[in-house]
Structure 1
Amino acid sequence: MTLAGWTVALFLCLAPAAGASVGFQTASIAVAGDRPLRVGIWYPSDAAEAPTPLALSMQIVAPDAAMAGSRHPLIVISHGTGGSFADHFDTAQALARAGFIVVAVSHTGDTYDDRSRALRITERSGQLVRTIDYMTTEWRDHGAVDARRIGAFGFSSGGFTVLSLIGGEPDMALVAPHCREHPAYFDCQLTPTMGAVAPTVPAPVAHDRRVRAAVVAAPAVGFSFAPSGLAKVRIPVQLWRAEADTILPNPLYAEAVRGLLPRRPEYHVVPGADHFDFLPPCSDGLKAAAPQICGSHIDRAAFHATFNAQVVRFFRATLR
């Protein structure tokens, strides 16, 4: 079957009921001793959708609409360095249209407008734990969340975050020798290019046993989990690598993670893709503001049709 045929087949078997739409809202989550977390939330709704601005993009959603149904599985999304909760809106919409509630976090101090804490990467998993707490006990529609079916999605630094969340224990002492050997790599350029300050003693990562399945795309700092930092990860993982990743080059990131996971992941290598192809196709406004993340040697829209369908399929199978 061709790629196009496989994509059509996936959508036919994963298609939601006719008339299903996606509600969307934003929220601010209080965090003890820190700034509130900004999140975007996508969820099933029966309300009419309309084109709605989101950052520099446009999405088709029903803003602040009522929730449809109940007992929905929850997916929490973690973005890459310098991003925001808007970064994976198309994947969030695909999941919501398939019956999931999705919450994406803007990680404090590691967003497009504030990168001061980009090197405090071990703090991020605790922000996901707080977000899950909020969604299952405090959010206005928390009664519609099935707290027994929770998954996590992470890209780049968000991939590291999710691996930490599900039981990974990184050794951050490995970063310094890595950067002495590869000073030009993106992760070794965060201090000079973004003004990020590394902590003297990294915060311990936070784990959450409520998460039962994870999708990890192009994980940053994958090498830091060697030799046994992923030994406690026992849940299903869908792992993605861009074949031509120029930001996190093979084999020190996704490939390193694949070799360290004790349970064989569902592994996908995207032919010809670069790192930022895991982000949605860029709007004209985003192309003008951030051209470095918009270039591509593949048909990004076609890839995302397949990528999103595969993510939906995986979570449907593992969060039954």
Structure 2
Amino acid sequence: MSPETVQLRDRSRPSWSTPAQHRLLQARIWPTNGPTPAPVVVLSHGTGGAGEDLDWLAKPLNDAGFLVASVDHPGNSYNDEYLVEGFSFAWERARDISLLLDYLVAEHDIDVDRIGAAGFSFGGYTVAALLGGRIDVDIMGAMFRGLIPAPEVPEFPDLIKALRSKYSDAELTSLAESGARSMSDTRVRVGILLAPAIGRLLLPRSLQQISVPVLVRWGDDDSNTPPEDNAHLYRDLIPHAHGESLGSDVGHYVFLGDREDATGVRPHVAAETVEFFTSHLSVRHTD
């Protein structure tokens, strides 16, 4: 089944590029081809990417009976304009997914007790945020003020310089404090993190408090989100996480559907993903 494209309007948040207007998100919906109410998997793309980057995951999940949906995160997608806010204000991504879930509840016959989420890179963090992972306000604030180095972002060089040219220190402090609040969405029951990012920017205790099953996968040859600062942290701190390297020669971008995958990483991960979500979302919860 092919995906449908819809536009979602978030009336609670302004557009970064046009503050007088509401935040608009483009979503891709793969309607279920199985029984309803349908189990759901929502997907979050990597920084600077788009929903279609994860079609290689969406299609096998959809074939297995899941309704699958993704959004292009505004200001952080090649289907949109690149904006410094989209690359800096990480917490807004979880709110995008919650808006997507609101839409699915209203417009599709879904089982709200059987919802999972998967994300790549920045999207891996997004899934962790939906499950309760929180930004460390002191670290984020220091990074915004240029006191500690920020992770390199190939898609947006000089990110912090651009941010500081647009916002005052007082504004950035306030934004960091706002972003440090919980962005969790209890409708999401399980999660998959693929080469997850910004692990060092999160409160360790917030990851320790995540109580649901989480699958973490990465490649050891990942220089964009080095596993020791990212995937390993998520694996070690989340109590019910299962983490595994996909190989010493596997890099970051193998998780993008248009990249070379000589060793078959994506089919392997897709099969694991279907099995994981089918296992954990196969029956309705009663709690």
SS at match of 2:192: strand
Alignment map for 1:1-320 (pairs within 5 Å): 22-32=1-11, 33=13, 34-45=22-33, 69-112=35-78, 113-116=80-83, 117-137=86-106, 139=107, 142-143=108-109, 145-175=110-140, 176=142, 185-187=151-153, 190=156, 192=158, 197=163, 200=172, 201-202=175-176, 203=179, 204-263=181-240, 265-271=241-247, 272-280=249-257, 282=258, 294=259, 299=262, 302-320=264-282
CA contact (8 A) 2:115 2:188 kept: yes
Distance 1:313 1:187 in 2: 32
Q: Specify whether residues 189 and 35 from structure 1 end up closer, same or farther in structure 2 by C-alpha distance, changes over 3 A only.
A: closer
Measured after TM superposition, the shift of residue 35 of structure 1 is 2.1
Q: Where does the alignment leave 5 or more consecutive residues of structure 2 unmatched?
A: 14-21, 165-170, 283-287
CA contact (8 A) 1:26 1:41 kept: yes
RMSD: 2.4
Measured after TM superposition, the shift of residue 172 of structure 1 is 4.3
One-letter amino acid matched to 1:38: Q
Distance 1:87 1:195 in 2: 28
Q: Which segment drifts farther, 26-35 or 166-175? A: 166-175
Measured after TM superposition, the shift of residue 163 of structure 1 is 0.4
SS at match of 1:247: coil
Distance 1:118 1:196 in 2: 11
Distance 1:149 1:222 in 2: 27
Distance 1:93 1:189 in 2: 27
Q: Specify whether residues 123 and 177 from structure 1 end up closer, same or farther in structure 2 by C-alpha distance, changes over 3 A only.
A: closer
What TM-score do you get using the length of structure 2 for normalisation?
Answer: 0.81
CA contact (8 A) 2:32 2:68 kept: no
- Equivalent residue number for residue 285 of structure 2: none
One-letter amino acid matched to 1:121: A
CA contact (8 A) 1:223 1:257 kept: no
Measured after TM superposition, the shift of residue 76 of structure 1 is 0.7
Distance 1:188 1:40 in 2: 26
CA contact (8 A) 1:186 1:248 kept: no
Distance 1:98 1:224 in 2: 35
Measured after TM superposition, the shift of residue 226 of structure 1 is 4.0
Distance 2:160 2:54 in 1: 22
Q: Which segment drifts farther, 205-214 or 187-196? A: 187-196
Q: Where does the alignment leave 5 or more consecutive residues of structure 1 unmatched?
A: 1-21, 46-67, 283-293
Deviations 1:35-84 (A, max 9, x none): 22101111334xxxxxxxxxxxxxxxxxxxxxx53121011111111011
Q: Specify whether residues 189 and 84 from structure 1 end up closer, same or farther in structure 2 by C-alpha distance, changes over 3 A only.
A: closer
What TM-score do you get using the length of structure 1 for normalisation?
Answer: 0.74
Query: What percent identity do the matched residue pairs reach?
Result: 29
Aligned residues: 256
Measured after TM superposition, the shift of residue 260 of structure 1 is 1.3
Measured after TM superposition, the shift of residue 188 of structure 1 is 8.9
